[in-house]
């Protein structure tokens, strides 16, 4: 039944790619994806430290209800990232300390909640990656409906089950399964370029001639 169903993941990004992407800032990945994809500025890291990287285990749930999130935690494999579209509603918390502790014990890589969470005093001191849109003390309902492992959208970013989810202090990004290799190659090159630029800044040798070239190309009037 559409709206109340549970599916299995048919594919997951390979573990070898997960290890490679861990060393690249999300901003570099975003740059090579034309800066057109993002999980929404409202989704912020709620944990103390630690980056997020793993295949998406998707959940679409009625705002304020976490029945399917409980089922997702029971189903997900170690290394998965549970990504929940709860409509961005902040009225009721979708997860809290008990559910995050259970997920962490199972080896789940982290959780993304397009909605609210609670128990941030505990979650905020830990290293288990949790991203959410807000906080409330009001707890969830457990009646459904909802769907597991269907395509979802967070802030216009479409996420298919098994796509790669990456997150750091700057936010979240989903990399489509079919584009993993090409995005990695471009992002790694971008990261190396920025590391060289940082070295040039330290040595006071950074080339900024491109600024005047851009102004000239754009016909900017410069009055001296």
Binding residue positions for substrate: 96-99, 118
Cα four-point dihedral sign 194, 196, 197, 201:
positive
Q: At residue 28, what are phi and psi to the nearest 5 degrees?
A: -65, -40
Q: Are 99 and 21 in contact (CB under 8 A)?
A: no
Q: Is 17 left (phi over 0), alpha (psi -120 to 50) or beta?
A: alpha
Q: Are 61 and 89 in contact (CB under 8 A)?
A: no
Residue 118 tokens read as 């609670």
- Annotated binding-site residues read 96-99, 118-119
- Annotated binding-site residues for Mg(2+) read 119
């Amino acid at each position: 039944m559409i709206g109340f169903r549970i599916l299995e993941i048919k594919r997951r990004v390979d573990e070898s790619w997960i290890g490679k992407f861990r060393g690249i800032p999300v901003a570099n990945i975003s740059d090579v994806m034309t800066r057109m994809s993002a999980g929404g500025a409202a989704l912020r890291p709620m944990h103390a430290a630690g980056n997020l990287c793993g295949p998406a285990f998707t959940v679409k749930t009625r705002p304020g209800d976490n029945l399917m999130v409980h089922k997702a935690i029971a189903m997900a494999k170690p290394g998965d990232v549970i990504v929940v579209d709860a409509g961005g509603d902040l009225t009721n918390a979708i997860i809290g300390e008990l559910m995050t502790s259970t997920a962490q014990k199972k080896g789940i890589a982290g959780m993304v909640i397009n909605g609210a969470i609670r128990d941030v005093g505990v979650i905020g001191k830990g290293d288990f990656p949790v991203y959410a849109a807000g906080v409330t003390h009001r707890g969830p309902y457990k009646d459904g409906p909802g769907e597991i492992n269907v395509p979802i959208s967070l802030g216009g970013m479409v996420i298919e089950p098994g796509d790669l989810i990456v997150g750091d202090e700057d936010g979240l990004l989903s990399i489509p399964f079919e584009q993993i290799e090409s995005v990695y190659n471009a992002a790694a090159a971008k990261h190396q370029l920025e590391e060289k630029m940082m070295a040039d800044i330290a040595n006071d040798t950074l080339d900024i001639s491109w600024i005047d070239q851009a102004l000239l190309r754009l016909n900017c009037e410069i009055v001296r």
